[in-house]
Structure 1
Amino acid sequence: MRRRAPFTALIAAYLVSVAGTSMSAIAIPWLVLTTTGSAAQTGVVVFAQLLPYVATQLLAAPVVDRFGLRRSLVWGNAAAAVAIALIPACYALHVLTPPVLIGLAVLVGLCRGTADCANGPLVPTTAEIGGIAMERAAGLNSGANRAALLLGAPLAGVLVTLLGPPAVVAVNAGTFAVAAIIAAIWVRVPESSTVDGLDVRRYLRDLGEGLRFARGDRLLLGIITMVAVTNLLDQGLAEVMVPVWARDEVGSATALGLIGAVGGGGAVLGSLLGTWLTPKLPRRTTFAASYVLSGAPRFAVLALSDSLALVLAAWFVAEVFSGTLNPVIHAAAYERIPPELRARVLGVLRSTAWLGLPFGALAGGYLTEAWGLHTALWVFGGAYLVTTLAPYVFPAWRELDRHPEPAPAPTPTAP
């Protein structure tokens, strides 16, 4: 039990922080949408937070490696708590203008990006200490994410209606603080700080090693490309199109909470099934079928129906299949990346796979405003369907069914 305590604490801290983040993911867009009435402005604010978040996943990896994974996790969450607490504080002081909100969103993205850059490689590190299989570790980490969404989304919908968006954002600040405390006390892993030796030349060398490794693995490149495109489309759907649909068809933020809750429940179930079934089923077949069934149908249902009950049913089914994706992706990555390169390569994978997130909200906002919600849904849904057919077409995806030993780290070279 003592050997597994760091992994358990890491999952608990991740669950708490994601629950808070899922609440602010509803509260902040709703705050902008209801105060400005502009889908485009909503997309701009989400873009301002996500772009530095994604960039930090890549650029902070060499610093996180040398400063220490645990230290980076603790201080990143603590800084994020302070940064996001400034949003309701500025609102209360009547100084939360759009430029101020955008600036705070950038700061929150930088802090969260640093913390999550450390969280990713800590999953296999703490799993190895606890003797936990990589498929199970990846599935439990993904399940924590899904469970946090299940808890956070409906609570956010209720609290936004009762107390208003600023109160929900304040709760998110508290969750980051709790995550920092949990990590500081219980996530104990061997590490040493060498940040004093990280000059510009060494930083560029370390960053280049992660980029070269990711570029040289065809399966990892395929995962990056496919996830980047679908994440872009998902972000436009979740951050802009679903709130607009809820406003136009239901007229209440409670619908957002219900969609998030039902989807989160399906995703938790899917993650549990993925954790159990991934070692027993062909990864490629499971992954490919689940991706197709979890994506495009959601866009079609929103475009064709104004029934909240039908949307909730479609979201549940789609998220059950979606919950099996991350255990496959993460287990394959953990197996293929040498331990000494995990922070850098996982940072490359996460940042490039999430590169489309800021642009998804931006594109979804402007496309919805220019062409209308239904046209935007069909365009995004068609692109999603085409993208998810990739594992049936490209041979590199067959490597998902292999279980290779981690490749040796590349020999360091001067930049």
Structure 2
Amino acid sequence: MRWRGLSGVLTSQACTLSANRLLTVAVPWLVLERTGSAAQTGLVVACQVLPYAFTQWLAGPLLDRIGPRRISAAGDVVSAVVLIVPALLGTPPLWLLTLMLLVVGCADGPASAAKRLLVPFAAADAGQSTARGVGLATAVERTATAVGTALAGWLVATLGGGRALWVAAAMLGVATLIVTLTVTDPVRDRGRDDESYLTRLRTGTAFLRGNAPLRAVTAMFVVTNLLDQALMAVLLPVWARAGGHDATVVGLALSTVGLASIASALASAGFGTRLPRRLTYLIGVLSSGPTRILVLALGLPPEAVIAVYALAGIGSGLFNPLLETLQVELIPAALRGRVQTLISAWAWAGIPVGGLFGAALLNLGGLTAALWVCGLAYLAAVLRPVWRVDWSVPVSAAPPAEPESRKLRIRLAGPGAAARVPVRRN
């Protein structure tokens, strides 16, 4: 029974992520079938994606106050109910489909953040380290991305876009049931009776602003997500076309990253706590970040590019669980909902402009220059946290009961730092 909560959280995540991957395939297909317009398809998809990070941040105080278990269940229920509208009303008009996806995006952000917050507590209940729980959660996410998208394509081709939405609703319903039956909420931050929602929101913002290492990592997320989007949306396809390659090379490179990261995330869950943290971070970010861009700038053949992307996947599966673990260790349990959702919101901030940034670089200097600029910018971004973060393992790496959070805050806070705890997701 010790693994019941952790198994429940991971299984629920698998269902939710698979439903999301199904939507990423079914919705564009459904809109294209209805309208034949790429512009309208992009607009409808954006209505689901854009609220995701923003509503996560807004839900932060609620996650800390009423608990992530309830937020997770409520968000998944709302999304499931909205997605069964086509079953009740027939094929919805475009405006209704857009509104449905807007509601799904608003509900999915807080629900996803809630499951992320539940992982370290469920790992502690199972007698496992935070690093192991986070490593398993990362492996679930990467598996859903690699396998779920292919399954989504098969379902859409077999059932059609409209009926595929029913399958997504069923997956979300199963996720709700699993969380409700298997997961226990952590101790919640009741706060003061006179503490308003906005005060709680400002408290999370002040904590992040006063924590230099967390700020460095957050800035790294913003820059690297922007550059990743520039690479995947613009630079990689342009490189393939310029070299006379077809989309198969692009798909193979990206799928290689995903599959390799599953294996390394499982390895991180198995023995990640025994690896030196600073060195693991360095190897992970250097192999998974700038190398994917610079290998294109060097003009290497597709076989070499795919091999480098495989190494990038291994590095990605190693350092992402490490960064997640550090967040859990650095942020007191009572503030974790507010601070982690704020970091996620900042991390997403660069994604919408990434494609535009890549296109602007192409127009200004051409493909090779754009790749070198992005590769060197990526290198600078990932190296900054190496010296801004204390990578030492805390005295107690056990996940955070509230008293331990207070001890961690006192031990790590620098002289004169009131709300400061130095050290520290695509």
TM-score by length of 1: 0.79
Q: CA deviation at 1:229?
A: 2.2
Q: Deviations over 1:254-300 (max 9, x none)?
A: 985x6665433211112022234432232222223322322344456
Note if 1:128 corresponds to 2:148: no
Q: Counterpart in 1 of 2:408?
A: 406
- Specify whether residues 280 and 303 from structure 1 end up closer, same or farther in structure 2 by C-alpha distance, changes over 3 A only: same
Q: Deviations over 1:64-117 (max 9, x none)?
A: 322322111111111112234447888x62622xx5444333211110012122
Q: CA deviation at 1:178?
A: 1.2
Q: Distance in 2 between matches of 1:316 and 1:391?
A: 19
Q: Distance in 2 between matches of 1:379 and 1:169?
A: 39
Q: Counterpart in 2 of 1:330?
A: 324
1:87-166 matched pairs, under 5 angstroms: 93=91, 95-96=93-94, 99-166=95-162
Count of residue pairs the alignment pairs up: 399
Q: Distance in 1 between matches of 2:313 and 2:267?
A: 12
Q: Counterpart in 1 of 2:212?
A: 218
Residue among 268, 275, 281 paired with 1:287: 281
Residue among 363, 367, 371 paired with 2:359: 367
CA contact (8 A) 1:299 1:380 kept: yes
CA contact (8 A) 1:266 1:316 kept: yes
Q: Distance in 1 between matches of 2:16 and 2:48?
A: 16
Q: Deviations over 1:35-60 (max 9, x none)?
A: 6464x655544433222110111111
Q: Distance in 1 between matches of 2:41 and 2:389?
A: 40
CA contact (8 A) 1:300 1:378 kept: no
TM-score by length of 2: 0.78
- Specify whether residues 276 and 130 from structure 1 end up closer, same or farther in structure 2 by C-alpha distance, changes over 3 A only: closer
Note if 1:383 corresponds to 2:379: no
CA contact (8 A) 1:230 1:384 kept: no
Note if 1:203 corresponds to 2:197: yes
CA contact (8 A) 2:82 2:100 kept: yes
Q: Counterpart in 1 of 2:404?
A: none
Q: CA deviation at 1:386?
A: 1.5
1:170-181 matched pairs, under 5 angstroms: 170-181=166-177
Q: CA deviation at 1:331?
A: 0.9
Q: Deviations over 1:365-410 (max 9, x none)?
A: x939x969x9679747742541343343466434134436631599
Q: Which has the larger radius of gyration?
A: 2
Q: CA deviation at 1:176?
A: 1.3
Q: Distance in 1 between matches of 2:15 and 2:129?
A: 23
1:242-253 matched pairs, under 5 angstroms: none
Q: Counterpart in 2 of 1:397?
A: 388
The CA RMSD over aligned residues, in Å, is: 4.0
Q: Secondary structure at the match of 2:2?
A: coil
Code of the aligned partner of 1:263: V
Code of the aligned partner of 2:148: G
Q: Distance in 2 between matches of 1:12 and 1:267?
A: 19
Q: CA deviation at 1:14?
A: 0.5
Unpaired runs of at least 5, structure 1: none
Q: Distance in 2 between matches of 1:377 and 1:41?
A: 32
Q: Secondary structure at the match of 1:389?
A: helix
Code of the aligned partner of 2:93: V
- Specify whether residues 251 and 324 from structure 1 end up closer, same or farther in structure 2 by C-alpha distance, changes over 3 A only: closer
Q: Distance in 2 between matches of 1:16 and 1:239?
A: 27
Q: Deviations over 1:338-369 (max 9, x none)?
A: 111111111112222222234446x37x939x
Q: Distance in 2 between matches of 1:224 and 1:211?
A: 12
Q: Distance in 2 between matches of 1:78 and 1:305?
A: 49
Q: Counterpart in 1 of 2:272?
A: 278
Unpaired runs of at least 5, structure 2: 396-406, 420-426
Q: CA deviation at 1:336?
A: 0.9
Code of the aligned partner of 1:392: L
Residue among 315, 340, 354 paired with 1:321: 315
Range moving further from structure 2, 185-194 or 166-175? 185-194
CA contact (8 A) 2:291 2:375 kept: no
Range moving further from structure 2, 64-73 or 107-116? 64-73
- Specify whether residues 15 and 104 from structure 1 end up closer, same or farther in structure 2 by C-alpha distance, changes over 3 A only: same
